[in-house]
Structure 1
Amino acid sequence: VIFSIIEDCKTLCPNAWIINFTNPAGLVTEAVFRHTDWKRFVGLCNVPIGMKMELAKLLNVDVKRLHVVFGGLNHLVYALDVLVDGVSIKADLFKQVEAMKMTMKNIEDIPWSSTFLNALGVLPCPYHRYYFQYNEMLEHFMEEYRTGISRAVKVKAIEKELFELYKDVNLAIKPPQLEQRGGAYYSDAACDLISSIYNDKHDIQPVNTLNRGGISNLPDDVVVEVSSVITKDGPIPVHVGALPAAALGIVQQIKAYEISASNAAAKSDYGQALLAMTIHPFVRSEKLAKALLDEMMEANKEYLKGFFKED
């Protein structure tokens, strides 16, 4: 779909910027930079701005006084440093970790320990719970499965209510159901980014773009989610330094998965799809990966025609 949109833009608006919200935002952005010649593309997520807002609440400071240095991948980003009025308060912040409620509507709020965070040296995003609190998250999902009330079921019900409300052309309030859907601060992040590109503001925002030296221990040509200076010519990654070794490993593994998955999508390559599925840390078995992949491909066959070409 995104490749088709890019082809349309080449014809209709070759100087436009494409700002992508669709998930997985990092993987989509990786595919665009790896498999097209379109460079005016930025991936955007609400996780970093959500973390910043929650930190401002926790610290009881105006968000304008707060600066968070971000580095990592989409849904796998870290707050590398947290500054108030230009002074790092990261060490003190970790002492308050038990009070943090830094999660999202779709992620169970399992607290981090201050011992773990001090050892890690950076603040993980809510999605890190899937990796660093795997057993607890799995048990939460299994309990939802047993009761038949999964997040997907909840979202389906919420969206049904929302679309009924949206039928009213005179609706002039923000429906309370929207608060349960997720996606908080997306409008702020989007408008800030659009304004900064258009007005060449040179302010700093976390976006998904080519690394280009932003994270020193990742390749320059991979897509990362990193604090960037936003200009009329697009984002310029801030040189945030190296990720700590304990944080780097999972980032490298997921980046390898994203590259293989983007290759599979762009080339309709079953082998690359199997490779991507197998090396993802949630699967951990080639046999299981093949079973999952084949089932998903069959279920979505009408959308994956490139994988089912006639001989």
Structure 2
Amino acid sequence: MKIAVVGGGSTYTPELVKGLMEINDCVKIENVTFLDVKEAEEKFNVVFEFVKRMVKDKFKIEKTFDPKVAFDGADYIVFQFRPGMLSARINDEEIPLKYGLIGQETTGIGGFSAALRAFPLIEKYIELVEKYSKAFVINFTNPSGHITEFVLNYLKFDRFVGLCNIPINLLKNLSELIGCKIEDLFVKYYGLNHLTFLEKIFAKNEDVTQKIFQLLKMHLANVPGDFPADLIEILELYPSPYLRYYLFEKEMVEKLKKEGTRAKKVEKIEKDLLKLYESSDSIPQQLMLRGGSMYSTAAANLIKDLATNAGTIHIVNTKNNGAVTNIPNDYVLEIPCYVKANRVFPVSLGEADEFAVGLIHIVKMYERLTIEAYLYRSRKKALKALLLHPLGPGWQEAPKILDDILKANEKFIDLS
């Protein structure tokens, strides 16, 4: 097996490699090729040398700046790159805050500019994947669900799923709450990436939803700043942590203004990690500060189960295809899927809650307007997307924010 990793210079890469080492006995990895851009060469070299010490002789590793070399003959390709690197994320998070709006990597205005930067690179890479391999692509590049919508519905490339570490962490936490294995759980879980809802939980043959919701509400009552227990009572859903940006928008804006953006904190964490990578032979504890807990488990286990025809359930971003009956089939959703025949097949979930459906429709239309803004190089569609998003600006600010975004991203985004 050959695996290619786009964004090989990421400080997450050692964790991914640890996951690949753990599945190696099952899938017999022969080669992992890491791809990155010249602008990240110094960081790429540090990470690669560290990974080389980790892997030893478990499998062959290579690094390249040429996508053709990385993709040629690959069986699986992982996208984990950040278009524009960390400096672009800092802009994504700081520009909205100037206008009193949420500054976040994937949600709202930050996700809007991140997506527009990503689309041209994703389009280029998918074209090369099709030309040089028959690989299945697993995408972690943010905003993951938005990118998956672009690839499946607009580029029409179907060997592609979006992945996030939130579902696997949720399952881990739920299993610990009731004392069972993750494999014993099945959840009625649906939504868009970073806008998901947990409605039902089953442990083996038992519906444990009410039991777990009571435990969660007791937990929430003792965690200041988390979702209030009475909110969960009203929704009858357990929401993604990202829903706090929608339901507590003013409070979250003030928090971001007071504490500073996450991107600035990540910048310092990455500098510290790279220093540690220069001299370490094992993954430092500080990587936990970077976020992305269980990222390697989610990615490596999905590769293993795709390759071994496992017939297991994974939560991924893919087309709905009838899984949620009151949402269109072509919407890309984050849902449980059966993994078989090197593909993912959505599991039937029935109807989604009306509160969830309402938000999903609005944000999905925002996603599609943003994609069309890129495809048609249309400033008008970009403004419509900003105006539609629940966390977006009003008409007075929208053109100014768009001008700021275009100026900060002039190397990446071109709208007429």
TM normalised by structure 1 equals: 0.89
**Contact 1:67–1:86 under 8 Å retained in 2:** no
TM-score, normalised to structure 2's length?
A: 0.67
Give me the whole-angstrom Cα distance separating, in 2, the residues matched to 1:62 and 1:235: 22
Verify the 8 A CA contact 1:226 1:237 in the aligned structure 2.
Answer: yes
Q: Which residue of 2 aligns with 1:113?
A: 228
Aligned-partner SS, 2:123: helix
1:284/1:296 Cα in 2 relative to 1: closer, same or farther (>3 Å)? closer
Report what 1:142 is aligned to. Answer: 257
Structure 2: give runs of 5+ residues left out of the alignment.
1-120
In structure 2, C-alpha distance between the alignment counterparts of 1:66 and 1:100, rounded to whole Å: 20
Partner secondary structure for residue 55 of structure 1:
helix
- The two structures, once aligned, show a CA RMSD in angstroms of 1.8
Once the two structures are TM-superposed, the CA of residue 109 in structure 1 deviates from its matched residue by 6.8
Give the 3 Å change call, closer, same or farther, for CA 288–263 of structure 1 in structure 2: same
**Would you identify which runs of 4 or more consecutive aligned residues in structure 1 move more than 6 Å?**
none
Query: Equivalent residues in 2 for 1:67-86 (5 A)?
Result: 67-86=186-205
Worse-superposed segment, 206-215 or 258-267: 258-267
Give matches, 1:179-190, under 5 Å.
Answer: 179-190=288-299
Q: Give CA deviations for 1:97-134 in whole Å, capped at 9, x if unaligned.
A: 24447xxxxxx973223332232122111111111222
Aligned: 1:6 with 2:114: no
C-alpha contact 1:130 1:137 (8 A) present in aligned 2: yes
Preserved CA contact (<8 Å) 2:185 2:203: yes
Distance 1:40 1:51 in 2: 26
Deviation (angstroms), 1:227? 0.6
Residue 214 of structure 2 corresponds to: 95
The residue number in structure 2 matching 1:166 is 277
- Structure 1: state its 5+ residue gaps: 102-107
Cross-structure match for 2:172: 53
Identify the match of residue 178 of structure 1 among 287, 291, 308.
Answer: 287
2:298 counterpart SS class: helix
Structure 2 residue 395 is matched with structure 1 residue 275:
no
Contact kept? 1:94, 1:114, Cα under 8 Å: no
Deviation, structure 1 residue 29: 0.5
Question: 2: distance between equivalents of 1:63 and 1:19?
Answer: 22
Partner Cα distance (1:87, 1:172) in 2: 45
Equivalenced residue count is 294
CA contact (8 A) 2:379 2:415 kept: yes
Q: 1:228 to 1:109 in 2, by over 3 A?
A: farther
The one-letter amino acid paired with 1:278 is L
Deviations 1:14-33 (A, max 9, x none): x2111110000010001112
Q: Distance in 2 between matches of 1:202 and 1:65?
A: 14
Shift of 1:243: 1.4
Given that 2:309 and 2:340 are in contact with CA atoms closer than 8 Å, whether structure 1 keeps it comes out as: yes
- Between the aligned residues of both structures, percent identity stands at 33
C-alpha separation in 2, matches of 1:59 and 1:129 = 25
Residue 69 (structure 2) aligns with = none
1:156 aligns with 2:267: yes
Counterparts of 1:114 and 1:286, CA distance in 2: 35
- Equivalent residue for 1:27? 146
CA distance in 2, matches of 1:302, 1:195: 38
Q: Which amino acid aligns with 2:371?
A: S
Q: Read off the aligned partner of 2:127 and give its amino acid letter.
A: E
Distance in 1, matches of 2:205 and 2:362, equals 33
SS at match of 1:213: coil
Q: Is the contact made by 2:313 and 2:339 (CA closer than 8 Å) also made in structure 1? A: yes
Measure how far apart 1:138 and its partner are. Answer: 2.2
Q: Deviation string for 1:8-62 (max 9, x for gaps)? A: 111110x211111000001000111222131111111111111111222333333
| Distance in 2 of aligned mates of 1:133 and 1:56 | 28
Deviations 1:134-176 (A, max 9, x none): 23322211222xxxx43222111000111122223xx222212
